[in-house]
Structure formats: C-alpha cells, structure tokens
Structure 1
C-alpha cells in the first residue's frame, strides 16, 4: 500500500484509496480541465473539493502542494519511476496525464508540439483574458464607471475567439479530426464565458459559428458532462 502521509495535503483531504491519483479542484473552467481529462482517460482517481468560501486554497496543507494557491492540483502515487508526483498548473496536468495514458496527444513529434502550442495559447491567452472580462463584467468591476477596462478585455476576447474560429473553420477540433488536450483546455473557458459570465451577447458570439459548433460537440461528450460536475 502506498503511503502518502509525507504529503501534508493528505492530512486535510485524506486519501480513501492512496493507490489512485488524488485530484484537488473546484468546478471552475481551470478546475474542470483536470476532471474532464481524468474522465476521458478512464484513469482511476479521487476528487477532493477545494472550497474557496472557506479559503481552503490558502490553507497550509494546500499550499504545501501548490504554493501558488490555485486549483487544480494533483498527487499521483504512481508518477515517474513509480514514485509519488505532486503537480499543479492545469496545462502541466493535462500534458502529464496525456503522456501517462498515451491519450489525447499525437505521438508524432510535430503534431505533439503543435498540440502543446495550442495548449499554451489557451493557458497564456484565453484563460487570463476571459477571466479579466468576467471580473469587469460580472463581478466587482461591473460597478466601475469607467468602462474602458471592460471594453479592453471584450476586444481581446473577441480577437481570441476570432483566432479560434478561424482555426476551426476547416476542422472538427483544434488539431483536426482528433480530439486533444488543446480542446479540453479551451472549451471549458468558452463555456464559462457564455454560461457563467453571461457575456455571449457582449462579445458577439454569433460572429463565431465554428466555435459554437465545436463547443456543442464538446458538451455532447459524456466524459465532459461528468467532469463538469467534479468535484461535487
């Protein structure tokens, strides 16, 4: 039996089965990237809710796993060399799980790097920009009289949606016919823009039909539906 007691995070969130991967997350666009990937791969895991209302993400136990106090994070008891591996950052987790399972990333080197390219595009661009738009449109920023910050992020969100729409104009998924970690990273944020931030009209979502078509295909996947509700 694997002993995970050396990891303080397991003191706050005990592992029921320390032989399976441990997920620490919340159902945010970043959080569900990991749960969707785990559901898609079929890799056994346990999900633990990191509750923002009680500031779990700032607890010493969570900070021992991710000093950047962001979700998701994982603890894999059977990492490289069959040794436990703690990992944070959603993009790194997706890439690790793709390599671990041999799924959702092409084995061909050129296609692999192209997939990573689009993963980085989402992590470095779409996620932060959509998040800022949400702050200035739905949360505290909506009370600012000066709408220039909001409009800045609306314009950037539209630009990013245009990039994605062009990419999807002649292909089913970001990498073509093959569904990949690039899609798993990207479409939770597109969904969040529409369903959580309620910003579809603001960004003119009707101008991006290929994005909405691919989002519908993404939402039709059973593993996506399950992953969006994990952790409960």
Structure 2
C-alpha cells in the first residue's frame, strides 16, 4: 500500500494519474494547504520542503521499513521503476522520457505556476510579470508542440511518466493565458490523454484551483503565497 499525501494541484494530480494508470493500491491522505497542514512536523518528516505531493511506500522493493519519497518527478521515477510501468525499457526511449520529465519539472511547471499566480492570485496586478511568464509559457507550449509533431506521446509511441508529468500543467491552460488551438499537436495530445479512463477517474471530481481565488481568506493567502523561512523550519 502507498500513502499519497495529496492536494489537487497539478503536481499532486501527476501522482494520482500514475497510480490509477498503473493500478497500484494507494490511500489518499489529504493535505489542506490553505490551513497550513504542510508545515506539520509529521509531514515535514516525509517532505522536508513542505510541499505536496509526497508518498510513503509501505512495501518498498528493498527493505521492510516504510519508504518516504518527496518531489513529484522523483516519485514518478520511483514508482515507474518499482512497478515496471510507464517508463520505456528501450534505452533511447527511456532517456527521452527522462528528458521530458526533467523539462516539465524544471520549466513547464515553475513557469506555468508563476503565470497562474500573477494572472489570477496576485493581490495587485503586475503587468510586467504577467507578460513575462505568459510569454514564457507560450514559448514552452511551442517546444512541446514541436516535440509532438508526428508523435502520439512525448517518448514516441509509449504513454509514459513524461506525459503524466506534463498533462496536469496543461489542464489549466486558460488560466495561464494559453489557447490550445494555437498549438495543434499539443491539443491532439491533450485530448488523447483526456480520454484515457484513468485520467477521467482522477479528474472526475477535481475543481480548477484557479476558480477558488475568491474563497481564500487573508490568512490562507499568507500561508500559500507569502511563506518565509520560519514555517518550513517548524
């Protein structure tokens, strides 16, 4: 059994997508980010960066002690290697999947996250930041679009952890200032993944986090967006 410490953000949804696709048994452990539950000492012992997702594998491949893993890219790679699923066995295709996984972790996720923050959640408009991050996300969509020319998936013919990593960050494309029709290869790829049964199960009851802006209290905004060094040191 795998415990998934979860909130329905793009990074959290990556891991649910993998677990559903692979058919691995798991238990959801909700973490209420706006309530500051990510700073609880018990959670920090699992995820020292006080971020979701994180997992605890109670049946790791080696040893009997439960194994905690944090950082979504590392979790995807760990689960793929443990289960033998959603990571190509051919060495070249495997490397391709790894490169696009790292591309998402280092580029698409952070830039889209900043675009979403400045376009939706920032307390005051910051036109320069909105333009900078929206433009960069558009550039990254262009990179993705070129990669998907003549391909169904990022690592070639196989659906893999690379696609699972990227898809949840494309779901809120409108909030990030993007139009999928401007990137036809991305749009086809997106629709292909959207139709997968595992994707539909995961997203069946998921709300768009960007629709909740009006529901955030001043205290919740402080917890989510204005963290200093003190909370993480609890």
TM-score range, shorter chain: 0.7 to 0.9
Q: 1:204 to 1:216 in 2, by over 3 A?
A: closer
- Are residues 1:138 and 2:120 paired? yes
The gaps in structure 2 that reach 5 residues or longer are: 208-234
Alpha carbons 2:86, 2:161 under 8 Å: kept? yes
Alpha carbons 2:7, 2:53 under 8 Å: kept? yes
- Are residues 1:203 and 2:178 paired? yes
Q: Return the offset for 1:231.
A: 9.0
- Are residues 1:56 and 2:19 paired? no
Q: 1:229 to 1:205 in 2, by over 3 A?
A: closer
2:61 corresponds in structure 1 to 80
1:7 corresponds in structure 2 to none
Match of 2:69, SS state, is strand
**Rounded Cα–Cα distance in structure 1 between residues aligned with 2:103 and 2:205:** 25
Q: 1:231 to 1:78 in 2, by over 3 A?
A: farther
Instruction: Using structure 1 for the length normalisation, give the TM-score.
Output: 0.84
- Are residues 1:92 and 2:74 paired? yes
Q: 1:106 to 1:230 in 2, by over 3 A?
A: farther
Alpha carbons 1:104, 1:180 under 8 Å: kept? yes
Q: Return the offset for 1:111.
A: 1.7
**Rounded Cα–Cα distance in structure 2 between residues aligned with 1:230 and 1:64:** 29
- Are residues 1:66 and 2:41 paired? no
Q: 1:229 to 1:97 in 2, by over 3 A?
A: farther
Match of 1:80, SS state, is coil
Match of 1:69, SS state, is coil
**Rounded Cα–Cα distance in structure 2 between residues aligned with 1:231 and 1:209:** 25
Report the RMSD for the aligned CA atoms in angstroms: 1.7
Instruction: Using structure 2 for the length normalisation, give the TM-score.
Output: 0.84
1:6 corresponds in structure 2 to none
Match of 1:53, SS state, is helix
- Are residues 1:181 and 2:161 paired? yes
Match of 2:104, SS state, is helix
- Are residues 1:152 and 2:127 paired? no
2:201 corresponds in structure 1 to 226
**Rounded Cα–Cα distance in structure 2 between residues aligned with 1:229 and 1:27:** 12
Q: Return the offset for 1:82.
A: 3.6
Q: Return the offset for 1:113.
A: 1.6
Q: After the TM superposition, which segments of 4 or more aligned residues of structure 1 sit over 4 Å from their partners?
A: 229-232
The gaps in structure 1 that reach 5 residues or longer are: 1-19
- Are residues 1:36 and 2:17 paired? yes
**Rounded Cα–Cα distance in structure 1 between residues aligned with 2:99 and 2:173:** 22
**Rounded Cα–Cα distance in structure 1 between residues aligned with 2:46 and 2:75:** 13
